[in-house]
Structure 1
Amino acid sequence: MRRISMSRLVIAAIIALISFISYFSLSDHNPITGEKQRVALSTKEEIALGLHAAPKMLQQHHGLLPNQQAQAHIDRVGSQLIAALNHSLEKTGNKNPYPFEFHLLADKQIINAFALPGGQVFITAALYNRLTTEGQLAGVLGHEIGHVLARHGAQRLAKQHLTQGLAGAAGVAGGDIQTARMAQAVAQLVHMKYGRADELESDMWGVRLTAQAGYDPRSMLDVMRILEQASGGQSPPEFLSTHPKPTNRVAYIQQVINEVFPNGVPEGLSP
């Protein structure tokens, strides 16, 4: 029994070591920010993965909403945000490699917006129908564009590979499934913390892009109030699943706006 236990520990240590080495060997250049990141995919692989996963997302949310006027509205606002992004990147010498596409989902129950790696951006009809200004829509789309630009999906995949390896090592060391499940639960808590950091970064992108596209970034505060009303004091909408509660989120985004515009939000922006 003692030899078996020692063997398990040795195998677990090897698995854990390989997992760490694999994670720390992942490095790629972000073409938008110029930073080095630990990501599991190249930009081309991100685009391919997003295109491959998009049909599944459509299926889960009842397909596209058959409303050409609303879809055209989303495409126009999204295009303005991307045009503003590309214009700002020209000044830095960086280039946007992602072919962004915006999709209005037919789901009228789940209040959500999300982005797949590579530039596929989605918003549900349930969320879109609650927005009252273009600035609010720009804030939601700008936030999701931020996830793509910061390569959060590729980063999350790299972290998942690491935590899955460590969970497997824990299962081998413990010799039972329960230990592995506990390790996976711990891994999920780690991802929640990283997820909130990702949201802060995406909010900063949302604030910048909305203003650069001519919209008032304070419209994002209105989105939070709309979502608070939609929750009715119950569990928050999916769009806030990794965020603080909507009441706290108003102060959270205001802090981001103050950091991006320390001298105040420019005048003449559309709400």
Structure 2
Amino acid sequence: MIKSSLALLIVFFWSVFSFSQTNLFENGSLENWSGSPEKPSNWDILTAPSFSKTTDANDGGFAIKIPLTESFGPYKAILETIGTNNIELLANTTYTFSVDYKVTSTATVQGITAYILRDGGIQVKTESQNPPEDGAWHTLTFDFTTSFATEHSVDIELTANGVGAEIILDNLKLLGEATNPDREALIAIYNSTDGANWDTTWDLNDENIDNWHGVTLSSGRVLWLNLRANNLQGPIPNEIGDLTEATRITFDNNKITGNIPESSKPQ
């Protein structure tokens, strides 16, 4: 009985851990469509003007059906991220990409290729599959590791060997950590020292903390926090100790109390 209970407990924790990651894509399930002609929000489709919304979905109520009818080299279409789906990822961090697909035609779909790109269109990772023509759902999935903390995008390229090829895509996912680990520590400093009334305050709705006054990053982590003479008023919060990569913290000429913990002082 003890062994059975222990096994059940292990399975429970494994399940929670395995499925608790957040999908960083907005509208990854392709449920939200807008515009005229209608297309999935946060996504763009290139060289496939006759794409359409379909209820033949693997996750939720809708998916996108893409006929490969336009001649662009080989018959090709590209689904790409736009807007908020171009995501600022952390440096030296592993992420998982996946997309579900199904071939619904007798014409051969030669390949489905996913490109992970960073600023400037530089390729970070490329993975391809030859889609089976069995009318069943399949998944292209892979891990990739970033080198830089910068904006990343995704292109999904579909190719065929002639007119009549058609494929459905659904359930696009990018799993991993997007929030900078230093962000919460900075917010704690802001809240504890009356950040709303600083001389130069922060826009906490801006996910890119590199845009925040006085914050200098290196490989996505806070290297220098310079809030000198910025009307900070209040105690230094304990969370400042979470800025483990900071080599310089400047708070002079403010009305603050307390001390920077010894463990947090630049070495």
Q: TM-score, normalised by structure 1?
A: 0.22
| Structure with the larger strand share | 2
Q: TM-score, normalised by structure 2?
A: 0.22
The structure whose RCO (Cα within 8 Å, separation 6+) is larger is 1
